[in-house]
Structures are given as structure tokens and as C-alpha cells.
Structure 1
Amino acid sequence: MSAAVPRREGTQRRIVTYLAVLAGLVALPLVASQLGISFLSSPKLIPIALFI
């Protein structure tokens, strides 16, 4: 990250990313259940788990 980025902006971006991950974790089981796919066997869960 560039040192020129204000600290507040970096924190805000981190919060937005965190909320996006939370929304994804909430939405994935709903989408998976609609598609009849087990949430734990969903390949999309792996990158999210690694991201956290």
C-alpha cells in the first residue's frame, strides 16, 4: 500500500471489505440452498476462508 493513502481512508476501505465478506458469507448459504448445493462443498467457500 502507498504511504500517501490517508489512514482513515485505509480503515474505511477495510470496513467496507469486512462488510462485503460478511454479506458474502450470509448470501452464499442462501444461494447454495436455492441451487441445491451443499454450502461446505461449495468451491467458493475456499477462497473466502483463505481470505479471512
Structure 2
Amino acid sequence: MSLDALEYSWPCGFARFEIAVRNPGVDWFGDGELALLAAALGHPVRRIRAHI
């Protein structure tokens, strides 16, 4: 089976790198915080929650 044929319930992604934050004191980053991070990186970002 190819990865394209799988059904995902959360937003999923495959990347060359990740920025992982553990126990930041918040459950989820807000849109404003993501916009600031994207501006700092010079590239759009997408939040994907990991369930390990």
C-alpha cells in the first residue's frame, strides 16, 4: 500500500526537519504565534500534533 492510499485523521506531514516543543505550558500554539514563527523562518509552517 502506498502512503497516498492511507487515511489520516489528523493533519499529517512528512518533512526534512521538525521543531519540537515539549511541555511548553500550552496545549496548542495560536495563529499569531505560528505567523511569528513563519516570519522568523521565512517559510510557512503547519502545526501537526504527534501521537507517539
**When the two structures are superposed, what TM-score results if normalisation uses the length of structure 2?**
0.30
Higher helix share: 1
Q: Highest relative contact order (Cα 8 Å, sep 6+), 1 or 2?
A: 2
**When the two structures are superposed, what TM-score results if normalisation uses the length of structure 1?**
0.30
